[in-house]
Amino acid sequence: MTKKELKDFLDEKAVTYERADFIESDPIQIPHRFSMKEDIEIAAFLSSIIAWGKREMIIKNANRMMELMGNSPFDFIMNHSEDNLADFDGFVHRTFNAEDFKFFIRSLKNIYSNHNGLEAVLKPKPENTNYQLAIHDFKQIFFEIGHLPRTQKHISDPVKGSAAKRINMFLRWMVRDAKKGVDFGLWKSHNTGNLHCPLDVHTGNVARKLKILTRKQNDWKAITELDVTLRKFDKKDPVKYDFALFGLGVFEKF
């Protein structure tokens, strides 16, 4: 395909898969159950953090997280007691366990109490046109209170080379326009053009088959390479192509 043919192909696939019925099989369904901004972003953040493995299990365990917070995540985070956190004992999603979950609750309370919330702490500085340093700085804030060293592995750091797939997915959910009924468009202070494709095995393999990604590892260097092409295709909304790449990989076995 020529570059124009490739762009037209991906534009068409992005439209095909960015539809409300996409939600039915995706972890993004969890935050869609809420209406208050803080509830949505907390539900989205926690759901994205455990988004690896089988999607059915991700959705099941994200639902369990919401249940343990009384289906009022923001109120729970701001008003919980340590006794409340005892109810988390026994929770586990792959390597994310109850102690990790308890710390995430404490850290989110610190972020909303002292750092103006998730939207503020993940916003890139004006001179930056990507989220690499913003995610790195966010991780420093997230772990500024006492924590077990093991829990740090659950927040990736792109400065150390990680593709930060789960954080980039969360950012897509929060920043991209809500007009198609999938993403939320809640964070008006952020720029959609700065977003990155949440790079995983599906999107990475499809991108390589389409020859818009040559790097073999799914790391931050691959993100940077993919950014170049996707931002040429649509500089204002490059991450709409996540729907195309993911849909081609998961649903069409491209």
What pLDDT is recorded for position 221? 98
Q: Is the pLDDT of residue 231 over 90?
A: yes
What pLDDT is recorded for position 152? 96
Q: Are 98 and 88 in contact (CB under 8 A)?
A: yes
Q: Are 51 and 169 in contact (CB under 8 A)?
A: yes
Q: What is the mean pLDDT of the chain?
A: 96
Q: What residue spans define the domains of the chain? A: 3-250
Q: Is the pLDDT of residue 1 over 90?
A: no
Q: Is the pLDDT of residue 99 over 90?
A: yes
Which residues are within 8 A (CB) of 82 and not within 5 positions of it... i.e. 6 or more apart? none
- For residue 118, give the nearest of 228, 37, 234, 49 by alpha carbon: 37
H helices of 88-131, in order, are 98-114, 117-121
If you average pLDDT over residues 242-253, what whole number do you get? 93
Q: Are 175 and 187 in contact (CB under 8 A)?
A: yes
Q: How confident is the model at residue 6 (pLDDT cuts 50, 70, 90)?
A: very high
DSSP β-ladder status, 96-97 and 92-93? antiparallel
Q: Looking at residue 86, what DSSP letter applies?
A: G
Please write the tens of the pLDDT for every residue from 109-153.
999 999 999 999 999 999 999 999 999 999 999 999 999 999 999
Q: Are 15 and 249 in contact (CB under 8 A)?
A: no
If you average pLDDT over residues 35-40, what whole number do you get? 98
CA atoms within 13 A on the CB side of 28: 21
Q: Is the pLDDT of residue 243 over 90?
A: yes
Q: How confident is the model at residue 254 (pLDDT cuts 50, 70, 90)?
A: confident
Q: How confident is the model at residue 253 (pLDDT cuts 50, 70, 90)?
A: confident
Please write the tens of the pLDDT for every residue from 166-220.
999 999 999 999 999 999 999 999 999 999 999 999 999 999 999 999 999 999 9
Q: Are 151 and 100 in contact (CB under 8 A)?
A: yes
What is the spatial distance between Cα 81 and Cα 84, in angstroms, rounded to a whole number? 5
3-state secondary structure (DSSP) of residue 18: coil
Please write the tens of the pLDDT for every residue from 53-84.
899 999 999 999 999 999 999 999 999 999 99
